[in-house]
Amino acid sequence: MEILKSKKKIILEYILIAFGAFVMALGISIFLIDAKVVPGGVSGLSMALYYFTNGALPVGVAIWILNVPLYIWGLKELGKSFGIRTFYGFTLNSFFIDLLRGDFPGVPFIRLQDTQTVKDLLQNDFLFLILIGSVLLGTGLGIIFKFGGTTAGSDIVAAILKKKYGIKPGTAIIMIDIFVILLAGFIIDQKGLSPEKPALSLTLYAIFLLFVSSQLIDFIIDGFDYAKAALIITDKHNEVGEAIMNELSRGATALKSRGLYRNVDREVIYTVVTNKELPVLTEIVHKVDPTAFMIINNVHEILGDGFRRRI
């Protein structure tokens, strides 16, 4: 019975990751590409390549091509934490983007970006168009992260930079996103792709997009809570602590305790992780000790290395 429940849970999670990839693709393919307002990361870089090649390289194909070597690099440097769900997430996202734009072979008639509503918003209510794209992008990513998936890209690069050079993941992701946005703005400006709006205006819209979508990701994952604190009660506290530090690059504290039921002295592991890292933490603990007892609490404010201060 437990195995059946576990399988159903996994299937549901994969369905929801697919739904998140579809929602994210809606935002990019319909509302952002033709507006020439790019998100950061691999999606934004793929849009820049799309503009540079005058549409010869579809955005979804570019996302997949760029993510595959990053995915392999992540597996090599970080182990299996970037597993099948990551590949599944960015592959579906790439597929849906090209499908919805009519760039996928056999379905050129779809082209949802050509509907009258989208064209009207593009011409007459540009800010609302970008806001819709931001909401869909952030909601889709939030759903993917909430159910243990990722879309690879800058997340992998940030994790590797953290491991190799100690650069904070949040700082690395912001640096990557800003670089991609500036690069796309330069390409748009040099090729004269947006005569109606200056490239600097589109860059500012992109920064606005980045802010809105990142806030929505946090909200979708767990409301207004920023992170999670976990108390882990296990007989394998040394192994669990080492796995958290090695695989998540997070600190862990061993607290002296005594179990009253068995009257056994043991150490309880205490750690704090971001919302996105919680599914990975759960998987790590279960892998080391399937019988471990975990108590998870919401954290609203963290002051210290490795976390951004919440405003």
pLDDT tens column, 54-82: 889 999 999 999 999 988 888 887 666 56
Q: At residue 129, what is the residue type?
A: L
Average the pLDDT over 167-177 and give the result.
Answer: 73
pLDDT at 308 over 60: no
Average the pLDDT over 157-180 and give the result.
Answer: 76
Instruction: Give kind and range of the element (H or E) at residue 298.
Output: strand 293-299
- Supply the pLDDT for residue 175: 83
- Give the pLDDT band (50/70/90) at residue 190: confident
Average the pLDDT over 248-255 and give the result.
Answer: 87
Average the pLDDT over 37-44 and give the result.
Answer: 88
Range of lowest pLDDT (7-11, 33-37, 150-154, 300-304)? 300-304
Rg (CA), the chain: 21
- Nearest Cα to 46, choosing from 31, 34, 33? 33
Q: Write out the two tokens for 248.
A: 């998540």
Could you tell me where the DSSP H helices lie in the chain?
Answer: 2-26, 41-52, 59-78, 84-100, 116-124, 126-146, 154-165, 169-191, 199-222, 237-247, 278-288
The 10s digit of each residue's pLDDT in 113-133 is 999 999 999 999 999 999 999
Q: Please state, rounded to an integer, the average pLDDT across all residues of the chain.
A: 85
Burial of 83-119, coded b for 16+ CB within 10 Å and e otherwise, reads bebbbbbbbbbbbbbbbbbbbbeeeeeeeebeeeebe
- Give the pLDDT band (50/70/90) at residue 268: very high
- Supply the pLDDT for residue 311: 42
DSSP letters for 106-121: T-TT--GGGSHHHHHH
Put simply, whether the predicted model's pTM sits higher than 0.75 gets the answer no
**Percentage of the chain modeled with pLDDT above 70:** 89
- Supply the pLDDT for residue 95: 95
- Sheet-wide strand order for 253-259: 253-259, 264-274, 227-233, 293-299
> What is the set of domains in the chain, with CATH numbers?
2-222 (no CATH), 227-299 (3.30.70.120)
- Nearest Cα to 305, choosing from 125, 154, 162, 175? 162
- Give the pLDDT band (50/70/90) at residue 310: very low
**Percentage of the chain modeled with pLDDT above 90:** 33
Average the pLDDT over 175-204 and give the result.
Answer: 85
